[in-house]
Amino acid sequence: MTIHKEGYKLIALAFLLCTAVSALGGWLFGTTTIWFYLVLAVCIVFFYLVVQFFRLPHRENRSAANELVAPCDGKVVVIEEVEEPEYFKGKRLQISIFMSPLNVHANWVTCEGVVKYAKYHEGLYLVAWHPKSSTENERTTVVIEHPNGKEVLLRQIAGAVARRIVYYVKPGDQVKRNDQFGFIKFGSRVDIFLPIGTSVVAKLGDVTKGNETVIARW
């Protein structure tokens, strides 16, 4: 278990804030009062949660060549056939995974291949499960072409709490298993769009582990 690089600055700021608030509590209440210990306990819990949010467990993708893994931790909230208007402009199978603030928030590639498309979109901050969040919220779209010629679209979507999406790839990049393509800070969702006819293994309500849980097969 390590700390994700996206968390270094925020963890440092959280440490400074907690130190300042604890010092202020000691000055206001004295360091031997119950009020000071309450302030100290709140600061410790807050700092722990911030560190916990940016944790990065070691995960090894052990899936078969024809299997697609979940790009993130979370809960499967959507499995349906939809019209994808941005890149494919046609029908695709959509799998959506909702990430709570307690989940690991690193985003891994679903399969190896070549990045064919990557674009950031400014937008709103509707709750992540809102039907219009995938088209109106702040989001990124990344398309990976597998060596078999099939393409998978990954869409990071900001939620009501998430206010920063980070992605690391650009068109032409070669990605391989275990690579991360991005990170979303504080509660969000990832949509996966697959070709019609793909065998979906995931079920509604399933809890996924990014880079480990198999969600579909070509």
**Residues acting as catalytic residues:** 188
Pick the closest to residue 101 from 161, 47, 41, 48 (CA basis). 161
- E strands, the chain, where? 2-3, 55-56, 67-69, 74-84, 90-99, 106-108, 113-121, 139-145, 151-158, 164-167, 174-175, 180-185, 188-194, 199-200, 207-208, 214-217
Burial state string for 91-130 with b = 16 or more CB within 10 A and e = fewer than 16? ebbbbbbbbeeebbbbbbbbbbbebebbeebebebbebeb
CB atoms within 10 A of CB 198: 19
Angle, alpha carbons 28-31-37 (nearest 5°): 95
The two tokens of residue 126 are 């509707």
Q: Is 40 helix (H, G, I), strand (E, B) or coil?
A: helix
